[in-house]
Structure 1
């Protein structure tokens, strides 16, 4: 995991942040999706990917990304600024929680959607992680 810092162009009329490959994102973007209108107390994610790399950005509001290592240890990243992105390499177990009202999360992915890339059982993730 790595917290990426994107440029912030400050202006009295409103700030601007931009992304461009290869300077800021460590992969070619193949898919973009976002989550929004997450009801209070809900979580999103709860899986890992076999191949996909991802960057998660809080475009609006805030939420926490919880990373669970194969040994069960947890790391928490609170995202609440649109000029930060959390880079998650393949084989990273994660879920998102603690969404503020009107939170908007943007996800940049290194692969197109492929259901078989998802690892939805933690025991399988653990087994694959220990092999690498």
Structure 2
């Protein structure tokens, strides 16, 4: 997602508004920083949570998995964010040494919303597809 950028001689400013730039109301904000370059974060999915992930400094690679295929994205521009819908597995890796990754989330933290086991996630994806009309 492209985010607005306002710039002048004093520098740049980018902002995000609920329901204007992203398709959900922001209920939680958190950020990752000081992550070793060889560390991996994420390794989970969500049942209902929506997120916008932005590398506000440095870069990070996200591997997104919908239960059928994977796609890799590199975030390295603070005016671009990656929207993650529910029922998507994510792995974050290849953090640059100065990376700061901002996450805007649609719900407060709730451990019951998480898939921490990839095989359970895949089974839930298959089950949800069987229930479609």
TM exceeds 0.5?
Answer: yes
Aligned pairs for 1:51-130 (under 5 A) are 51-71=48-68, 73-130=69-126
Give the paired residue count.
128
Q: Structure 1: which 4+ aligned runs deviate by more than 4 Å?
A: none
For residues 55 and 104 of structure 1, the distance between their equivalents in structure 2, rounded to whole angstroms, comes to: 14
Counterpart secondary structure, 1:123 = helix
TM-score, scaled to structure 2:
0.92
How far the C-alpha of 1:99 sits from its partner, in A, is 0.4
For residues 131 and 8 of structure 1, the distance between their equivalents in structure 2, rounded to whole angstroms, comes to: 41
Residue 11 of structure 2 is aligned to residue 9 of structure 1: no
CA contact 2:61–2:92 (8 Å) conserved in 1: yes
Residue 56 of structure 2 is aligned to residue 22 of structure 1: no
RMSD over aligned CA atoms reads: 1.0
TM-score, scaled to structure 1:
0.93
Gaps of 5+ in 1: none
